[in-house]
Structure 1
């Protein structure tokens, strides 16, 4: 029995270890658009190609785009081409295939530091049939890239990388040839960092808030010695507070819901607190007038609170905005 076992082990060791088949695969991105923060998605148009040493290898047919919401693939074609590269040992013809793809991809946008946010868009292509023992991608670094003059609508591309990775799943998907409990497949990952270069949308979202704060600060020039002016000052501050609260909901339609405090949220919260402090100051100023301290109340409103609240609000805004711009 030991002799038979030794024979089986020797036979297994004698079998040649074959390397997986491969094709040179590249991608060229022609369009990036529809950056939707609320829907957590973006659209990419790109052309993907493969150069294979044999006709039986067809990676574009078994390739899938990972993490897509929807995709459309068109113009698949294969041509025989003479091999003038050093990618393959064969000196005969190689098989060049192309496919155009338009896909809507999931994107987890981090808008905490909006409008100074930076993101990395990813396009992931994966072999869906043969595991890494049978086939792997060889990235075509030289020819892959993106259209330099594409319009990104207020964004700019800061880099482009392409790398081959191995993706492991805790299943073989029922493949009877795989003996392990997990399947490992070759994938190509395209990473495209982008950075915002236009900030008009930020000013649109915060302009109403800043106006409400400015009006609230002007309320300090209403004398609280006259009941009619106290009522007008109180009504003005209530209107400013309501405007700030309503304006705080506006970014959700543009940026989507998030559980973290964004820069826009921080600015709104600070402004709401300051307006509420101005309302409390109105009550205190009125009480001072009722005690016959009218001049002190006027000094308290116009010389102290107006200056302290206005300057500190500007300083706090400069701090949080500068921090967001640095962190990105």
Structure 2
């Protein structure tokens, strides 16, 4: 009986072993049931080496920067699978490729581009501009590729010489940008692509520009006020018979200062379409003389005879100048 018992025990063990072996092989053949596949992650960073040609009438600026990505996918080529949003022209140099210490594939490219910009100069010359460099994936949506910002290594070159401006801040962020279209594929009604955005804040050097730009207007306004004060008193009008000529000189001064302001700082009527300009605030100091004129007008009505004589004097002075 002992031999039979041992024999049956050995057969039982062999049978159980066969069952476990077949179960294990079946488990290997059947793939596990999981959710959607996680998107590939690419860490993206930027280093701005130059910003130049801030063109307000044209509504654009030019920039040069290095853009890099770090990904576990060795086939991901960032220089071929992105676009710079709002770029008029773009030049991409050959990439630098290497493997990082943590085993990720690193690709870096230098980009020089011209980007559209919506300037807001309603507060000129105390305006602050926020220029944006946005890079977006073109071949893979957010279900396949996700950008992550490299905040630690991103930045800008402090030696950038942008006359009249001061760099105050730079921020990088990533987010999915949605498009309400299926791109003609007839699938989902909308899609989203990962976008990497760099925002650089520039503050205008307002104190020097304000003095040089509006000093002529201040001087002309003082002369205009002096002329109106002189005209408000009969004694001064009799003492200065050539007040009409002085008015013409002040008018010519306003015209010369305004012409220099427009030509020097490149503001012309087209700028009102290319940038946001608050028209009532443009040349805010000019209505001062009109306010003084309305204030002093009652004084002029008290002596019509003297005003008539003054008008004759001005007319004769104008004839002499002509």
Corresponding residue number in structure 2 for 1:42: 61
Distance 1:290 1:23 in 2: 81
Distance 1:26 1:290 in 2: 74
2:212 counterpart of 1:204: yes
Corresponding residue number in structure 2 for 1:88: none
Distance 2:243 2:205 in 1: 45
* SS of residue matched to 1:232: helix
Corresponding residue number in structure 2 for 1:19: 38
Q: Map Cα deviations across residues 119-162 of structure 1 (whole Å, 9 max, x no partner).
A: 21111000011111111112112111111232222222222211
CA shift at 1:286, angstroms? 6.3
Aligned residues: 268
Q: Map Cα deviations across residues 262-288 of structure 1 (whole Å, 9 max, x no partner).
A: 6442123x2452475599589548637
Contact 2:100 / 2:106 at 8 angstroms: preserved in 1?
no
Q: Map Cα deviations across residues 20-44 of structure 1 (whole Å, 9 max, x no partner).
A: 1121111111112222222222211
Matched ranges for 1:138-153 at <5 A: 138-153=148-163
CA shift at 1:250, angstroms? 5.2
Distance 1:35 1:17 in 2: 46
Distance 1:291 1:34 in 2: 56
Q: Map Cα deviations across residues 262-316 of structure 1 (whole Å, 9 max, x no partner).
A: 6442123x24524755995895486373699xxxxxxxxxxxxxxxxxxxxxxxx
- The equivalent position to 2:94 in structure 1, one of 75, 85, 92, is 75
Q: 1:149 to 1:240 in 2, by over 3 A?
A: closer
- Which runs of 5 or more structure 2 residues have no equivalent in the other structure? 1-31, 310-322
Matched ranges for 1:74-153 at <5 A: 74-79=93-98, 81-84=99-102, 93-153=103-163
Q: 1:62 to 1:287 in 2, by over 3 A?
A: same
Distance 1:168 1:101 in 2: 25
CA shift at 1:51, angstroms? 1.3
Corresponding residue number in structure 2 for 1:191: 199
Contact 2:176 / 2:195 at 8 angstroms: preserved in 1?
yes
Distance 1:275 1:250 in 2: 29
Q: Map Cα deviations across residues 68-120 of structure 1 (whole Å, 9 max, x no partner).
A: 222211132322x2433xxxxxxxx4321111011121222211111111121
Contact 2:120 / 2:277 at 8 angstroms: preserved in 1?
no
Distance 2:44 2:70 in 1: 7
Contact 1:119 / 1:193 at 8 angstroms: preserved in 2?
yes
Distance 1:98 1:56 in 2: 14
- The equivalent position to 2:225 in structure 1, one of 212, 217, 236, is 217
2:173 counterpart of 1:163: yes
Corresponding residue number in structure 1 for 2:189: 181
Contact 2:171 / 2:198 at 8 angstroms: preserved in 1?
yes
Between structure 1 and structure 2, the one with the greater Rg is 2
Corresponding residue number in structure 2 for 1:289: 306
Q: 1:240 to 1:259 in 2, by over 3 A?
A: same
Distance 2:109 2:54 in 1: 24
Q: 1:229 to 1:82 in 2, by over 3 A?
A: closer
Q: 1:82 to 1:121 in 2, by over 3 A?
A: closer
CA shift at 1:189, angstroms? 0.8
Contact 1:120 / 1:191 at 8 angstroms: preserved in 2?
yes
Q: 1:246 to 1:77 in 2, by over 3 A?
A: closer
Contact 1:38 / 1:252 at 8 angstroms: preserved in 2?
no
Contact 2:225 / 2:289 at 8 angstroms: preserved in 1?
no
Distance 1:141 1:40 in 2: 29
Corresponding residue number in structure 1 for 2:74: 55
Corresponding residue number in structure 2 for 1:9: none
Q: Which runs of 4+ in 1 moved over 6 A?
A: none
